[in-house]
Amino acid sequence: MAIADEAKKPQHFKETAKSKKKKKSFSEAFIPHKGDSKKEITGKVISLISIAVLIVCLAILAVYFYHQFEAKQNNKNIKVIYNQAIKDSQSTDIPAADSTQENNEQTPDVVRPPLTVSPAAEEMLAINKDYVGYVYIPDVLSEAVVQTADNEYYLKHNFYDQTRSCGTVFADFRNNVSDYSDLQSDNIILYGHNQRDGTMFGNMDYYKWDYKYWLKNPFIYFDNIYESGTYVIVSSFVINTEPEHDNGNVFDYNNFINFKDSGDYTFENFKKEITERSHFITGIDIDENDKFLTLSTCTYEWEPARHVIIARKLRSGETTDNIDTSNFMVNPNPKWPAIYYKYNGGSYVEQ
């Protein structure tokens, strides 16, 4: 009876059962065994290497996305801490630090009152002793700023001093950031990564081509550890860092820290360069008595290139309400490095 039943089973059932018996385990399929041919061993080794590479790549991607998520969370937490400290100081009527000076020409007999660290800065310094300020543009960027003697360090360390590729916005080590206003650097330069997710200086790209974006967000706010400052953007341009990308020339904007009376780093040279190169014409005047804030980040028109935004500190009597932006217009003839014209055509017509 059993033999008869066996004979009645469909042919495909038998083949399926047979195929199941032939199914190899992971070890048999991928691990070289004694008796394998050279071809089988080679195939298994290649397969193992491919699996290992895939696992490593997935691990790297997982770490990358985790760090991106972590950076956003850290940024949100720092922003909350900073804004809460400001709100608390305002509710308790803590006087704001006064770093202004009626007469910048000081005599040895004049003793300035000591500057007071703001409550918000105290909160930040408790997290990171290298903290020197906070830069923000509503709906564009909001970042704590640090400074050390090494401009490389915070390229790969976050605000909590963890090794992270996203880094932290940092001031040039040569800058005097927090001091009496007249003793601060003429041009404070901040560096930050151009993160593709919009964090750090990732939203600065819009200032290169979006006229409406510029008009909507013309002001940069920068608080050092003593005082708050408001700056109006006067220039945005893309610059080369390698001489061969511009016929041997480099506009080293990052060396205009304190303007000189003569030589390469005068205010007049600074003004000429940033005016000619700017993608937009703002109509906002600047002079040698002004203080400036520069934001610098990577850009991808070619490699390596930098996108630079320069803003002027508001003068006495100026506010965000009375700055005239009616003269803003697209610059029909901005000055680009030679490499730009090589790939895009055209040329710069000197005015």
pLDDT value, residue 22: 59
What are the pLDDT digits (tens) for 60-114?
777 666 677 777 788 888 889 888 888 888 765 544 444 443 444 455 567 889 9
Rounded Cα gap, residues 18 and 123, in angstroms: 72
pLDDT value, residue 103: 42
Predicted TM-score (pTM) of the model is: 0.81
CA dihedral 83→99→312→186, nearest 10 degrees, is -120
pLDDT value, residue 105: 47
Rounded Cα gap, residues 314 and 83, in angstroms: 22
Neighbours of 103 (CB within 10 A): 8
Neighbours of 110 (CB within 10 A): 9
Tokens of 82: 């900073």
For 118, phi then psi, to 5°, come to -70, 150
pLDDT value, residue 326: 85
pLDDT value, residue 99: 42
Low-confidence stretches of the chain (pLDDT < 50) are 1-3, 94-105
